[in-house]
């Protein structure tokens, strides 16, 4: 049996400009989820990826990622938002701005 990917077709869809900040926020969240999973598996930061030693250069805050890595997360977030809209859902902005807070670091 051969796997045939069948993503939701969003070709030609344009995301409303008011959703672009959401795209960036979701891209950052995707990176944070990925990083949290890697850290829980014992991975740590290293200047070069090393699967044997569980080192990865992208275990840094989203803001510190190279633009090429941010773009990978943005493309995934954009595709997800487009799929949601294509499926008929409506995305409305919150009535109050998101309180963007980060957990406090364990070290001072």
* Domain boundaries along the sequence of the chain: 19-86
Residue 74 pLDDT exceeds 60? yes
The string over 74-90, giving b where at least 16 C-beta atoms fall within 10 Å of a residue's C-beta and e elsewhere, is beebbbbbbeebeeeee
User: The tokens of 103 are what?
Assistant: 């957990």
CB of 27 closer than 8 Å to CB of 73: yes
pLDDT confidence of 58, banded at 50, 70, 90? very high
User: The tokens of 74 are what?
Assistant: 């943005």
Closest Cα partner for 73 from 60, 85, 86?
A: 60
How distant, in Å, are the alpha carbons of 42, 53, 56, 58 from that of 25? 26, 31, 22, 17
In the CATH scheme, what is the code of domain 19-86?
A: 1.10.490.160
Mean pLDDT of the chain: 90
Distance of CA 40 to the CA centre of its chain: 18
Model pTM above 0.95: no
- Quote the CA–CA distance of 69 and 62 in Å, as a whole number: 9
Helix ranges (DSSP H) in the chain: 20-40, 67-86
Render pLDDT for 6-46 as a digit per residue (tens, 0 to 9): 999 999 999 999 999 999 999 999 999 999 999 999 999 99
């Amino acid at each position: 049996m051969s796997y045939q990917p069948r993503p939701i077709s969003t070709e030609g869809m344009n995301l409303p400009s008011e959703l672009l900040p959401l795209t960036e926020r979701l891209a950052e969240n995707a990176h944070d989820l990925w990083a949290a999973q890697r850290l829980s598996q014992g991975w740590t930061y290293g200047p070069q990826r090393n699967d044997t030693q569980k080192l990865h250069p992208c275990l840094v805050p989203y803001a510190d990622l190279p633009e090429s890595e941010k773009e990978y997360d943005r493309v995934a977030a954009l595709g997800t938002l487009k799929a949601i809209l294509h499926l008929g859902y409506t995305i409305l902005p919150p009535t109050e701005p998101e309180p963007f807070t980060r957990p406090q670091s364990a070290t001072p």
